[in-house]
Structure 1
Amino acid sequence: MRALLFLIIALTLNVPAFAQDAPKPVKLMTIDSRPVVLQRQFFGQVTALQTVDLAFQVAGQVEMLNAAEGTTKAEDTLIARLDLAGYERAVAQAQANFDKAQRDAERLSSLGEQVASAVSVRDAETKLQLAEIALENAKDDLGHASLRAPFDALVARRLIANYTTVAAGTPVVRLHDISEMRVDIEVPEVLFRQAGAGDQVRFTAVLPGDTTRFPLSLREFETETSSIGQTYTITLAFTDNPGAFVFPGASVTVNATTPGKTPEGIIIPETALVFDPAGLASVMVFENGSVRRTPVEVELRSDGQLYMTEGPEDGTQIVVTGASQLRDGQAVRPFTRIGE
């Protein structure tokens, strides 16, 4: 009998522990009245500052081709050269004709008007001018028989083999100007108008296999849409060196962010509101494992949504669903998974 009495007393003392309510799981939202940051992601392609196909301006057989693909060439480095023998002979011939024309013009001018007529002198001077022009043309052709790098370049592709006979204007080698690496992206027409001139848009690039975000600067944009998709091409530039082995044609992910408009209130669902008999609204603020009923002012606007115009400060967490089922001071915990 005494043992039974002790058991009843023990159970009575433990009743409050079993009867106490367990913290109820609730969904929370954080109040934030700061401007919304708009984010968009685009897939682009790395490009060079410029890409050129070098070609001889004269015809001939390629005698030297110094263009190993993937190598870099300093500005003014010799890239390719034609067989110069014929062009050197043309310069020598033009030089000889010029020297003879110069001697003839000087001799006729020194004879005087009694021996040489004025017409003969003028004809000699004309021949001298034509010989000078022919000499300059021959020198230009000789100079055009050699190709030099117009800038610090990356050799992208050889377009012919060495010892090939080429006509004037035949592309020989393709060079990239990588003094500034750029990125081209296609932006839909609607987003292009929203971005405007891009003063407040911030661009960053992420390369495959690398989590580093490289800042990008706007360089230019096309003012005509593509024939397919109604998109504008925007050209951006890396402000920092993206590292080695980042070549034109590489894929890149571009993230664009721009500040949105400052909200004129915080949108909250009806399920987050609790009304007293007088019709005044409150929300349940989550603090230290329990909720506290806090008065707020709400406004129903023309878009059909409720806006909180007065209430807790930014960063405060409130119950977003089922607030009317809670009582002031009730123990709760954040909802983490389905089935709680």
Structure 2
Amino acid sequence: MTSTRAFPASRAWLRIIVCALPLLGGCSSEAEPAPEPPRVALVEPLQAAEPKAEALRFSGVVQSVTSTQLSFEVAGRIERILVDEGTRVRRGQPLAQLDRTDYRLQLREAEARLRQLEADLARKRTLLAEGILAPAAIEALQANTVAARVARDSAQRDLDHSTLNAPFDGVVARRLAEPDMVVAVGTPIFEMQDNRHIEVSVDLPETAALSIPLDAGLQAEGELVIADVRLPLRYKEHSTQPREGARTYRLVLQGEPPEDFNLLPGMAMRVSIERPAQPQRTRDAFRLPLSALQTDSDGQHFIWQAEDGRARRQPVQLEQVDGNQALIRGDGLQAQMPIIVAGGSKLHDEQPIEAQERN
């Protein structure tokens, strides 16, 4: 009897368990995912681009302001070379001298003849005053005296020109003749350069020639490639015809060489020329740190805008890179809107962020 009563009781318990299974199954369904934690993001307000001057950089070559070959104005044998190559000389300083013997003799002869004619002319003028001679008697003598005076002056000039003097302050760049050489008039003896000033030649492309002031308002600076030497440069002249085979124009700048360095023709310089501000290039444009600019796999540029605690992707067009700044344009951009400027490569659209302004 006892066993027959226990069986129905166990069946009752089984019925209770089976009925409870659906309830237990409802409690074991998947829990909702935890919300994504916000990422700390450094932000800066977007700045409207203001027109500003730009520095254009070019390669330049140092030139001498004046470079000329010097020669004697009379012929003769070179007796002495008075300076060496590389010597700094002053205007009027003797550089070389011819054998002056023949020119001294010519001068002495011309002076003697002039003295004789002047003495004859003085005596005949006395006779003319006394009425002994007619005026026509001394006309030929007067003409001969004038010719003798010219011959004397010419002989003195030839003697003076037998010494070659520096025509300006500068440097003897090259010596082209040696002592004891017999030279004709015009034979080059020295090549001399005026290095009180220097000139720097720059080839300007068309776009630069179009936008910089080619006049006294041009501002430029030169930097020597092989040394830390900088000097201001000013406008001198420019060509109005392009170089043959190239669309560039020659610009010549002038400056004062530093006292502690020898700037020699042919040395290379980096030339920086200031281009005035161009408002049309910055109209409807904005500047932001280059670190804020992102590029996707298709080469398209975008930035992250911090809005309502989330990162939102904003497509932009890159106009120019200037150092660590980028000039951009795009629909929906406004001045002072917060832009994420660091860590943009680790963000995704609508990601929660905790914006912190960069100090």
TM-score (norm: length of structure 1): 0.73
Matched, 1:51 2:67: yes
Offset of residue 194 of structure 1: 2.2
Check 1:226–1:311 CA distance in 2 against 1; reply closer, same or farther (3 A cut): closer
Offset of residue 71 of structure 1: 1.7
| Counterpart among 61, 80, 86 of residue 64 in structure 1 | 80
User: Which SS does the other structure have where 1:180 is aligned?
Assistant: strand
- Comparing 252-261 with 318-327, greater Cα deviation is found at 318-327
Matched residues in 2 for 1:307 and 1:116: separation?
A: 112
Offset of residue 59 of structure 1: 0.3
What's the counterpart of residue 284 of structure 1? 305
Check 1:236–1:142 CA distance in 2 against 1; reply closer, same or farther (3 A cut): same
Check 1:45–1:30 CA distance in 2 against 1; reply closer, same or farther (3 A cut): farther
| Counterpart among 95, 103, 111 of residue 79 in structure 1 | 95
Instruction: Tell me if the contact between 1:266 and 1:307 (Cα under 8 Å) persists in the aligned partners.
Output: no
Instruction: Tell me if the contact between 1:184 and 1:233 (Cα under 8 Å) persists in the aligned partners.
Output: yes
Matched residues in 2 for 1:254 and 1:88: separation?
A: 54
Instruction: Tell me if the contact between 1:49 and 1:181 (Cα under 8 Å) persists in the aligned partners.
Output: yes
User: Which SS does the other structure have where 2:103 is aligned?
Assistant: helix
Instruction: Tell me if the contact between 1:214 and 1:242 (Cα under 8 Å) persists in the aligned partners.
Output: no
Q: Cα deviations across residues 156-197 of structure 1 (Å, max 9, x unaligned)?
A: 000111211100011100111111122111223442232233
- Comparing 74-83 with 325-334, greater Cα deviation is found at 325-334
Matched residues in 2 for 1:110 and 1:331: separation?
A: 117
Check 1:332–1:291 CA distance in 2 against 1; reply closer, same or farther (3 A cut): farther
Matched residues in 2 for 1:138 and 1:199: separation?
A: 48
Which residue identity is paired with 2:159? L
Check 1:29–1:144 CA distance in 2 against 1; reply closer, same or farther (3 A cut): farther
Which residue identity is paired with 1:135? R
User: Which SS does the other structure have where 1:147 is aligned?
Assistant: strand
- Comparing 325-334 with 146-155, greater Cα deviation is found at 325-334
Matches within 5 A, 1:314-325: 317-318=339-340, 325=349
Offset of residue 65 of structure 1: 0.7
User: Which SS does the other structure have where 1:179 is aligned?
Assistant: strand
Check 1:64–1:283 CA distance in 2 against 1; reply closer, same or farther (3 A cut): same
Matches within 5 A, 1:1-340: 20-23=37-40, 31-112=47-128, 114-198=131-215, 201-239=218-256, 241=258, 243-262=260-279, 263-266=282-285, 284-285=305-306, 306=330, 310-312=334-336, 317-318=339-340, 325-326=349-350, 329-330=353-354
Check 1:242–1:251 CA distance in 2 against 1; reply closer, same or farther (3 A cut): farther
Which residue identity is paired with 1:108? K
Check 1:92–1:327 CA distance in 2 against 1; reply closer, same or farther (3 A cut): same
Offset of residue 230 of structure 1: 4.1
Check 1:237–1:207 CA distance in 2 against 1; reply closer, same or farther (3 A cut): same
Instruction: Tell me if the contact between 2:199 and 2:254 (Cα under 8 Å) persists in the aligned partners.
Output: yes
Which residue identity is paired with 1:311? A
**Gapped regions of structure 2 (runs ≥ 5):** 1-32, 294-302, 313-328
Check 1:237–1:268 CA distance in 2 against 1; reply closer, same or farther (3 A cut): closer
Check 1:85–1:48 CA distance in 2 against 1; reply closer, same or farther (3 A cut): same
User: Which SS does the other structure have where 1:35 is aligned?
Assistant: coil
Instruction: Tell me if the contact between 1:284 and 1:319 (Cα under 8 Å) persists in the aligned partners.
Output: no
Matched residues in 2 for 1:45 and 1:217: separation?
A: 15
Instruction: Tell me if the contact between 1:158 and 1:172 (Cα under 8 Å) persists in the aligned partners.
Output: yes
**Gapped regions of structure 1 (runs ≥ 5):** 1-14, 273-281, 294-304, 335-340
Matched residues in 1 for 2:350 and 2:205: separation?
A: 47
Aligned residues: 292
Check 1:57–1:183 CA distance in 2 against 1; reply closer, same or farther (3 A cut): same
Matched residues in 2 for 1:43 and 1:250: separation?
A: 11
Offset of residue 264 of structure 1: 2.0
Matched residues in 1 for 2:157 and 2:97: separation?
A: 14
Matched residues in 1 for 2:253 and 2:355: separation?
A: 53
Instruction: Tell me if the contact between 2:90 and 2:170 (Cα under 8 Å) persists in the aligned partners.
Output: yes
Matched residues in 2 for 1:20 and 1:318: separation?
A: 17
Offset of residue 254 of structure 1: 1.1
Which residue identity is paired with 1:110? T
Offset of residue 70 of structure 1: 1.4
Instruction: Tell me if the contact between 2:40 and 2:353 (Cα under 8 Å) persists in the aligned partners.
Output: no
Q: Cα deviations across residues 285-338 of structure 1 (Å, max 9, x unaligned)?
A: 59xxx8788xxxxxxxxxxx636685218xx7456989992357545999xxxx
Matched residues in 2 for 1:190 and 1:120: separation?
A: 80
Instruction: Tell me if the contact between 2:42 and 2:341 (Cα under 8 Å) persists in the aligned partners.
Output: no
Instruction: Tell me if the contact between 1:265 and 1:307 (Cα under 8 Å) persists in the aligned partners.
Output: no
Offset of residue 48 of structure 1: 1.9
Which residue identity is paired with 1:325? D
Greater Rg by CA = 2
Matched residues in 2 for 1:332 and 1:309: separation?
A: 20
Offset of residue 238 of structure 1: 2.4
Check 1:177–1:268 CA distance in 2 against 1; reply closer, same or farther (3 A cut): closer
